[in-house]
Amino acid sequence: MNYQWYPGHMTKAKRMMQEDIKLIDLVIELVDARIPLSSRNPDIDELGKNKARLILLNKSDLADSKYNKLWAEYFKKKGFHVLEINSKSGAGIKAIHGVVQEACKEKIERDRKRGIINRPVRAMVVGIPNVGKSTFINTFAGKACTKTGNKPGVTKGKQWIRLNKGIELLDTPGILWPKFEDQSVGMKLAFIGSINDEILHIDELVFDLMRFLQDNYENVLEKRYEVEADEDVVRMLEKICVSRHCYLKGEELDLQRAAAIVVDDFRSGRLGKITLEFPE
C-alpha cells in the first residue's frame, strides 16, 4: 500500500508558520512517543533554526517506557530540551514551565539587560496531525481553549493563547510533508492515526502492524485475543475474527471488522505499551 496524505490546507498552514516564526522565541514540538522520528515533520528543523527548541514525547503512556528514556537521551544529544508527557492525564505537564525558562534563558537575559522585564516567552506549538497538540494546550492552560478531536486535521487556523505572565502559545494546524520518501514512515503514521483512515486499506495496514508485533512484542496478540500463535498473519486475523465473533452473513469471516479492532486496540493502548521504532 502506498501511504500519502497532504490535503491542500497544509500548504497554506506551512506558509502561515513561516510568516509567524519571526514572532517566536521557542518552538515546542509534539511528537508521538511510539514513533518519535517518524512523527517529526522534517520541515520543522528548517523552520525553527536559531530558535530555542523543546520536544515533548506525547502519549508516552502508550509507548514502551524503556524506549521513552532512550529517545529522550537521543534528542538531548541532538541539542533539544526534552520531556515525556501525557496530555490527557497531565503527566509531565507541570515540568514544562521550568524547562521553557531554561530553554529561553539567553533570551530572558538579553531582555533583562535591555531593561525589559517579565516579557512573556512566545512559543509556537507544532506537530503532525493527531499527535495531541490541542489536548496538550488545553491541559497546559488548564481550560478548554482549542478544539480537540480524535481525528487528524481538527485545528485549521492559528490562535494565540495567553497562559500566564510568563508564556504565550501560538497553536498551529498539524502539517505533514508533501512526500514520504520512506514508505515505512507513512506506514507508521497510518498505524497511529495521523493519516486519514478513509484513504487507507485497513486490512492491509493491520497485516503490517501484526508482523511488527510478532517480530518485536512476542505473544501480545495471542494474549489479547486468546488465540493460538500463527506466523501467517492472514490466518492469525481469521482466528481473531472467530475469537471476537466478527462474521458477515452466515459463517463468512468479517476480516475488515477484525482488522479495525486490532488497529483500534493498538492505538488506544489495549495491546499494551508498544514502541514502533527504536533509537540508533
pLDDT in tens, 12-58: 777 778 888 888 999 999 999 999 999 998 888 888 888 999 999 99
Q: How many CB atoms neighbour CB 107 within 10 A?
A: 16
- Let me know whether 15 and 151 are in one domain: yes
Q: How far is CA 45 from the centre of its chain?
A: 16
Q: What share of the chain is helix, strand, coil (3-state, %, to 5)?
A: 45, 15, 40
- Let me know whether 117 and 226 are in one domain: no
Structure confidence at residue 157 as a pLDDT band (50, 70, 90)? low
How many folded domains does the chain comprise? 2
Q: DSSP H helical segments within the chain, as ranges? A: 9-20, 43-47, 65-77, 96-103, 105-113, 133-141, 183-192, 202-216, 220-225, 233-243, 255-268
In a domain, 177, yes or no: no
In a domain, 248, yes or no: yes
- Let me know whether 111 and 217 are in one domain: no
Structural domain span for residue 115: 9-171
What would the pLDDT profile of 165-203 be if each residue is shown by its tens digit?
Answer: 789 998 888 777 666 777 888 889 989 988 877 767 888
In a domain, 186, yes or no: no
Give the Cα separation of 146 and 33 in Å (integer). Answer: 22
- Let me know whether 218 and 85 are in one domain: no
In a domain, 96, yes or no: yes
- Bridging pattern class, strands 121-126 and 167-171: parallel
Give the Cα separation of 150 and 134 in Å (integer). Answer: 10
What would the pLDDT profile of 241-255 be if each residue is shown by its tens digit?
Answer: 999 999 998 889 999
Phi, psi (degrees; rounded to nearest 5) at 53:
-130, 135
In a domain, 130, yes or no: yes
What would the pLDDT profile of 97-128 be if each residue is shown by its tens digit?
Answer: 999 999 999 988 998 899 988 888 999 999 88
- Let me know whether 127 and 224 are in one domain: no
- Let me know whether 47 and 161 are in one domain: yes
- Let me know whether 44 and 98 are in one domain: yes
CATH code: domain of residue 239: 1.10.1580.10
pLDDT, residue 14, reads: 74
- Let me know whether 26 and 108 are in one domain: yes
- Let me know whether 163 and 31 are in one domain: yes
Higher pLDDT, 147 or 8: 8
Place of cell 512484542: 217
